Structure 1
Amino acid sequence: MERPTLTLKNNEERRLRAGHLWVFSNEVDTKKTPLTAFTPGQEAVVTASRGRPIGVATVNPGSLISARIMDQDPETRLDADFFRARLREALAIRSRLYPTPHYRLLFSEGDHVPGLILDRYGDVIVGQLNTAGMDSRKELILEAILAELAPSAVIWRNDSPTRDFEGLPRIVEVAYGTAPENLAINEDGALFAVPALGGQKTGWFYDMRENRSRLCRLVGGRTVLDLFAYAGAFSVRAALAGAASVTCLDSSEAACAMAADNAARNGVADRVEVVRADAAAFLEECAAAGRTFDVVSLDPPALVKRKKDLEAGLKVYERLNRLAMDVLAEDGLLLTCSCSQHVDAYELRRAALRAAMARGRRGQILDQGRQGPDHPAHPAMAETDYLKSFLLRLVQQ
């Protein structure tokens, strides 16, 4: 079947020729190809203004990102075989990276499947279809998953705010099999469980695994504070790595319950104190009481969701870093992180530096991190390199 063409305005193809995958609505020549002629999720061939093909894409006329390039070959068909090939390509590197099947299997643009996220929890697959293009192909994607992985269950956690921008409803559903009560995770030998149909995002934050692993090498015999701890991934691993004590803090009652269960599951409940509190308030109380920690992990949720909020968000990052430094012991370690796409590494580094100067601390960067390799960044899309972290050693001036 012949596919429609989406034509760009003159000179708007340069970014796409360099490998970027997004076509914005203001880049489309609507006189030649009106966006209103397309249905959400429709497959189309994107061409430069003079007709030269750029690639095959899915189109959503109602979104700011009106098209997403799926493949540079304009002859490619977005069928089950296409998704099977992408899955095999992703599996080839994950199987080399991780000894057990617990990882992000497909990372949207990073794995050249814009709008599709799949996480693997043993024989259970949890996914998000975040664009109209992927949502309209969920049966093809499911067919590919069943053929390549033979899972016991596939769950769609389609409750991301991203779907709002695509005009898609938020819904959680079991697409195949019977969902277990909990998803099981094996992270470097530590065992965790989170609700299969609840919790945050797709259930687990695989992207921080390598950052947790590196910091765990330095916690032996130390007192540790894990802020915004969610289900206790770092808290439990720090205790298993020999931390003298761990304070695991989150503001969510459900998250605290998960963290406590996971500490018990790994036999470290006696060294993991789970605290439900607001992070800033807790830090202020500890500082007032003179309580300090040798190691602090500061991994807040995204504080800058829109570019226009950058200045205000950076002030919040700086304040949280100052408060964390107030409870950091002399010669202490602070892991400071940002998963905000609009905050780059330089800005996070500057926020931490300003906090250190305000608190009279002299800092050294021991390590700079990013998301794990199961969240590969697209080399032409800085947007996909979203997670930044710095491990700081801080001493008094």
Structure 2
Amino acid sequence: MTKVILKRKIAMRIANGHPWIFANEIEKTEGAVDAGGIADVFFHDGKFAGRGYVNPQSQIMVRLLTRRKEEIDEQFFFRRINEAWKYRQKIGYTENCRLIFGEADEMPALIIDKFNDYFVIQTMALGIDVWKPAIVKALQKIFSPKGIYERNDVPVRELEGLQQQKGFLSEPFDTNIIINENGLQFHVDIENGQKTGYFLDQRDNRRQIQHIVKGADVLGAFTYTGTFEIHAAHYGAKSVHGLDISENAVAQATKNAQLNKLDHICKFETINAFDALKNWGKEGRQYDVVMLDPPAFTKSRETIQKAITGYKEINLRGMKLLRDGGFLVTSSCTNLVQPELFLQVIDMAARDARKKIKQVTFRAQASDHPIVWGMENTNYLKFLIVEVSNK
């Protein structure tokens, strides 16, 4: 077994349970360091810190799988996936859910989404990719699924010396499926949709708009496949206009509206949402509800300031499009912009727009994406509804 000994001065997060160990926190290694292999990690005083997989090519050299001296084998992954499934069942997430949320489920760099009887897997580090056959075997044993697909077409894999790839990990199946959510139906394109094909993390938040959209004229920007907009129509909106720069997303959104027989209320348009928000504000267009669900504006700490500027800009524009007493529904999905900072950005936007805001609700992602205290990367989604009025 490879041994990794940590430096005397290390970040407290390791002792407090965070699984990431960076190369510059390691004093020395003993034994062969095989990329993707398992290593035992010890604090400087010789105390056992945990066991995890190692990759000398990666900045995060070790990711801990356990704090105990337990065997890492097929049975280990079966137990972990089974425990995660039992947890989801206890909290009421069964039909569609994020079954494994990486570090939050003590399986760093592993994502598994469950869509009915179909599963989508992402293994974003070499050490977990090695165990893909064991993970597939565990899913087959626990669920007897209709299909398993890998969406490893993510650039982060290249930092681990892995190729981007996607394809079937089971017998081939039709990757265009339909799921149920909050009494509605949605097409999910497992093979070509963003991420794993569908954003499960906003499911509970989509229900939060049901009272504010009744009889309202609603604008949705960065609509993707129209889930928020279709919920708005379902909950009684008078009109819903969804915007996205992707023609494919708009086609999917239109298809989803037709599937739910709400295409007479929902209209989707292929347009740059940034430009539309700016120009329509100048034209004096007004809505009762404006919903903003943009993609992550940053994936690195170096560009946080640029992201803050972007969030402030779109929220300011959104507020200016609201009638007095209307509602802004806004989200941010980057963990680099923590909740407190996000609220500060909204506050700055309101001041610059000369608007007064009243918080209706402020939430994180759905509970099948657990937030573990001390692991900032697990607390990534911010969802806010505010009433916006003129000063």
Compute the TM-score of the two structures, normalised by the length of structure 1.
0.95
Moved more, 175-184 or 328-337: 175-184
Pairwise CA distance, 1:40 = 2.0
For 2:159 and 2:93, how far apart are their aligned partners in 1?
A: 37
For 1:133 and 1:145, how far apart are their aligned partners in 2?
A: 19
**Where does residue 233 of structure 2 map in the other structure?**
239
The SS at the match of 1:61 is coil
Q: Is the 8 A contact 2:93 2:368 kept in 1?
A: no
How many pairs are equivalent?
391
The SS at the match of 1:44 is strand
Moved more, 37-46 or 16-25: 37-46
After TM superposition, which residue ranges in structure 1, 4 or more long, deviate above 4 angstroms?
none
Unpaired runs of 5+ residues, structure 1, are: none
Q: How does 1:1-397 map to 2 (within 5 A)?
A: 3-12=1-10, 14-30=12-28, 32-33=29-30, 37-74=32-69, 76-98=70-92, 100-397=94-391
- Closer, same or farther: CA 260–97 of 1 in aligned 2, 3 Å: farther
- Closer, same or farther: CA 232–98 of 1 in aligned 2, 3 Å: farther
For 2:74 and 2:11, how far apart are their aligned partners in 1?
A: 28
For 2:234 and 2:10, how far apart are their aligned partners in 1?
A: 53
For 2:370 and 2:211, how far apart are their aligned partners in 1?
A: 24
What's the % identity of the aligned pairs?
33
Q: Is the 8 A contact 1:180 1:196 kept in 2?
A: no
The SS at the match of 1:220 is coil
Q: What is the CA RMSD across the aligned residues, in angstroms?
A: 1.4
Q: Is the 8 A contact 2:88 2:94 kept in 1?
A: no
Pairwise CA distance, 1:394 = 0.5
Pairwise CA distance, 1:98 = 3.7
For 1:33 and 1:110, how far apart are their aligned partners in 2?
A: 29
Q: Is the 8 A contact 1:228 1:298 kept in 2?
A: yes
Q: Is the 8 A contact 1:194 1:258 kept in 2?
A: no
The SS at the match of 1:204 is coil
Pairwise CA distance, 1:6 = 1.2
For 2:211 and 2:35, how far apart are their aligned partners in 1?
A: 48
- Closer, same or farther: CA 18–201 of 1 in aligned 2, 3 Å: same
Unpaired runs of 5+ residues, structure 2, are: none
Q: Is the 8 A contact 1:194 1:231 kept in 2?
A: no
1:253-290 CA deviation, whole Å, 9 max, x = no partner?
11111100000000100000111111111112322332
Compute the TM-score of the two structures, normalised by the length of structure 2.
0.97
The SS at the match of 1:236 is helix
1:40-83 CA deviation, whole Å, 9 max, x = no partner?
21111111123211111011111111111101102x22222111
**Letter of the 2:23 counterpart:** S
Moved more, 123-132 or 91-100: 91-100
- Closer, same or farther: CA 22–346 of 1 in aligned 2, 3 Å: same
**Letter of the 2:388 counterpart:** L
1:21-58 CA deviation, whole Å, 9 max, x = no partner?
1101100113x448xx4222111111112321111101
The SS at the match of 2:27 is coil
Q: Is the 8 A contact 1:43 1:57 kept in 2?
A: yes
**Letter of the 1:72 counterpart:** R
- Closer, same or farther: CA 99–45 of 1 in aligned 2, 3 Å: closer
